[in-house]
Structures are given as structure tokens and as C-alpha cells.
Amino acid sequence: MEEKLEEELRPPVVAAEALSQPRLLAMFLLLKEPRRLVDLTDYGIPKSTANRWLKRLVGFGFANRVRGVRGRYYYLSDEGLEVLKLIGKHIIDSLKRLDIGSKYTEKLKRLMEERSVYGYSLRRYRSHESQEVEKVIRKELLSEVFEFIKEKYRVPPHLVTAIVKISIDVDEEEESVKVNYALKV
């Protein structure tokens, strides 16, 4: 019986479970660094739920508990970090499937055409304008990525960006926008 239960709690299974439950996902993202139970309740996880899940995570070896000066601290064990990596890979795959770079490449081309139609004779205006275009593209792209994360995973985007690095490359000469994702764990 216990062997069967242990087989079911492999990191891919736990990662899939965490991705289906927003509060459990938030706990995994928060436990990347040592946290107290009180810190978890600040993110909207009820104290009883957080306590129950922490006991289970520690019991099954996905988290560790240490005594600190201000109480007990919990953090992910090696197996828990493996689950976090699987979660990060899944999030990166879903962001890549979104293919947001090609959408903003088209937008950049439109903005560059508008700029060429109106024309700027002085160089300083060109450089100022190109910085503004790049800033607008980056801001809109990031807000769309964050909105996607909020809708799909129902966790605050800053928790996801703690494990997933998002880099945006705006190349005006080639008129392309490239978005790269990498794991920070």
C-alpha cells in the first residue's frame, strides 16, 4: 500500500497536481525560499490549508522544515525543486505556444511603417522615437504575458517570474520581436 502511494507521488504527478490547484502552485512558488506559515497566509492561502499542505509536503519529502528564531521555516527539498523545475518547464511551454513574439513583430512593422510615412529628418528624433517604440512594445508584451499567467494559472505573475526569466529582444533593423524564456531554478 505504502509503496503504491509512493509511486503515485513522483515529481511529475505532483507537478501536474500543483498546476491544477492555484493555491498549491503558489505554495511551491513561494517555498523556493525559506518561508514561515504566516508568510504563506499573506498570499491568500488559508492558514488551515497551508498548514495541512505543509505537513503533507514535509511528510512526503518535497519540503523541509527547520526551526528558526522566529518560528518554523519551510523550504523545498531537492525533490521539491525538481517539481518546481517541471512546473517552470510547463509554464515556459505554454508561453511558447502563445507565440506572442510573432504578434508583436507585426505590430512593430506597423509602427515602423507609420514612422517612415511621417518621417523624421533629425537623427536625435529618430533615436528618441526608436527608444519609445521599443519601450511601448516591451510594456504591452509583458502586460499580455502577465495577463495570460493570471488567467491560466491564477497566481500573481511576480511569483512565476521568480522561476521563469523572460527576455525580450526588439530588433528594429530586422523588424522583429523575439521573446525568450529560461528557468531560474
DSSP 83-124: HHHHHHHHHHHHHHHHTHHHHHHHHHHHHHHHHHHH---SHH
- At residue 1 the predicted structure's pLDDT band, cuts being 50, 70 and 90, is very low
Whole-number pLDDT of residue 67: 94
CA-CA distance, 112 to 133, in Å (whole number)?
8
Within 8 A by CB and 6+ apart from 2, the residues are none
Q: Is the pLDDT of residue 63 over 80?
A: yes
Higher pLDDT, 130 or 175: 175
Higher pLDDT, 122 or 153: 153
Q: pLDDT tens for residues 137-152?
A: 889 899 999 999 999 9
| pTM of the predicted protein model | 0.84
Average confidence score pLDDT of the chain: 85
% residues pLDDT > 90 (the chain) = 56
Whole-number pLDDT of residue 120: 53
- How far from chain centre, in Å, is Cα 76? 17
Q: Is the pLDDT of residue 24 over 70?
A: yes
Whole-number pLDDT of residue 134: 81
Q: Is the pLDDT of residue 6 over 70?
A: no
Q: Which set of grid coordinates corresponds to residue 103? A: 504578434
Start-end of CATH 1.10.10.10 domains in the chain: 2-82
Which range has the worst mean pLDDT, 71-75, 104-108, 171-175?
171-175
Q: At what angle do helices 11-20 and 78-98 cross, to 10 degrees?
A: 50
Whole-number pLDDT of residue 121: 42
Asked if 31 and 75 count as a contact pair (C-beta separation under 8 A), the reply is yes
Whole-number pLDDT of residue 124: 41
CA-CA distance, 13 to 108, in Å (whole number)?
41
DSSP 69: T
Q: Which set of grid coordinates corresponds to residue 89? A: 518547464
Which CATH class for the 2-82 domain?
mainly alpha
CA-CA distance, 104 to 175, in Å (whole number)?
10
Q: Is the pLDDT of residue 126 over 60?
A: no
